[in-house]
Chain A
């Protein structure tokens, strides 16, 4: 595997479910990010991790809970989501905090029913 991978690629969940999104980067980067991309809206930065420490929580509701166990892995734990949370969730990594190029994964298309 190379680059940034995300699983699952598609997820349908009910509002009472608990699920997790996984991101893995094989680039040796030190910073990782979660973005939300909704139809007709700009990419929204949700969380930023640098060297496994969270440095940004962009007023994201507590039903989204990130976890970064090491510099290669990033999770987004989901619980009691709302239909308006349906979106494409993108993970990205960069060599260091917001320097240079961000490499994005293919995203997880989430549908909340």
Chain B
């Protein structure tokens, strides 16, 4: 059984603050995706990371895949209320399967 842990579970911060959320596992993955899910909507893909140590940037969001491809982090700079949502990591766990974490629920207060 592959265990996937996302932390923190909940995060409430003020607009303008920086934050980092984590996705950790004891398993090695070939790739990993990050999604954001807003209330009443389905998840939307933000990024896919493939190479150990890879860093990808999407505006104020920085994604990193661990060197050993067992973990990943998402850093948000100068958070805005529009960043509010559930952030899900989803490592590839087989030929065509992705497994999802329980997510980090972020609330950015204006």
A interface vs B, CB < 8 Å?
Answer: 4, 40-43, 45, 48, 55-56, 90-92, 97-107
A48 contacts across to B, CB distance below 8 A? 96
Chain B residues in contact with chain A, CB under 8 A? 4, 40-45, 48, 88, 90, 92, 95-103
**Which chain B residues lie closer than 8 Å to A106 at the CB level?**
40-42
Among A42, A101, A106, residue most surrounded by chain B Cβ atoms (within 10 Å): A42
Query: Is A104 in contact with B43, judged by CB distance below 8 angstroms?
Result: yes
Give the docked Cα–Cα distance between A7 and B98 (Å).
Answer: 25
Identity of the chain A residue whose Cβ is nearest the Cβ of B45 in the assembled complex: A101
Q: List 19 A-B contacts (CB under 8 A).
A: A42-B4, A42-B101, A42-B103, A43-B100, A45-B98, A90-B42, A90-B43, A91-B42, A92-B42, A98-B97, A99-B96, A102-B45, A103-B45, A104-B41, A104-B43, A106-B41, A106-B42, A107-B40, A107-B42
Q: Is the Cβ of A98 less than 8 Å from the Cβ of B95?
A: yes
Best-buried of A91, A92, A98, A100 by chain B (most CB within 10 Å): A98
Q: B102 to A97, Cβ gap below 8 A?
A: no
Cβ–Cβ < 8 Å partners of B103 in chain A: 42
